[in-house]
Amino acid sequence: MERVTGTLVHYAHVCPRKVWLMAHELGPDEDHPLLELGRFLGERTYPRERLRRVSLALPGAGMVLDWVRAEDGEGELLVAEVKKSSRLLKAARLQLLFYLKRLEEHGVAARGELRIPQERKRIPVELTPEAERELAAALAEIHALREQPLPPPPRRVGHCRGCAYAEFCWAESDLDPEEER
């Protein structure tokens, strides 16, 4: 099975075209301001906590975990995913479930937490049977999308206004990506 990343899982809940573009390694604009904000939040928000950004290359899955911390005495990891707002909360939860599942498959006990520092929120995420079914459906969708020879056409969604692919998708269109669906 081809490699799936947490970022792909995240966008499975947002835009199928974006999944296709990323799966085919057509990278977005690296200078996009929202990408910069994401990096800043990841690096600066929790300076006093001894948490670390960790990149793991597991078979079939690449993971860059925002923060990982060993929980004292419980033999369990805390894996936190940091987001700039709760606007794409379902997508962020799916991404974190993907990480928890991959860690579980490699014998690592972990619990998840979504962190939205600008809203002062910490939301626990658990790998329940229902969550596993949801994750399996998203992975099946990603694999089906990747097999398509061409990307799905652009479809205006709320995420377009902040998407690093916006220029690519809408440059030659009369449609305004700023408009909501």
- Residues forming the site for ligand SF4 (CB under 6 A): 15, 17-18, 154-155, 157, 159-160, 163, 165-166, 169, 177
What's the min distance (Å) between Cβ of 172 and ligand SF4? 13
User: Residue 54 or 144: which CB sits closer to ligand SF4?
Assistant: 144
User: Residue 130 or 180: which CB sits closer to ligand SF4?
Assistant: 180
What's the min distance (Å) between Cβ of 173 and ligand SF4? 10
What's the min distance (Å) between Cβ of 106 and ligand SF4? 31
DSSP string, the chain: ---EEHHHHHHHTT-HHHHHHHHTT----TT-HHHHHHHHHHHHS-TTS--EEEEEEETTEEEEEEEEEEETTTTEEEEEEE-S-STTHHHHHHHHHHHHHHHHHTT--EEEEEEEGGGTEEEEE---HHHHHHHHHHHHHHHHHHHSSSPPPP---GGGGG-TTHHHHHTT-SS-TTS--
User: Residue 18 or 115: which CB sits closer to ligand SF4?
Assistant: 18
Separation CA 44–CA 41 (nearest Å): 5
User: Residue 23 or 125: which CB sits closer to ligand SF4?
Assistant: 23
Separation CA 29–CA 39 (nearest Å): 14
User: Residue 34 or 108: which CB sits closer to ligand SF4?
Assistant: 34
What's the min distance (Å) between Cβ of 17 and ligand SF4? 4
Q: What tokens does 111 get?
A: 């619990």
What's the min distance (Å) between Cβ of 75 and ligand SF4? 40
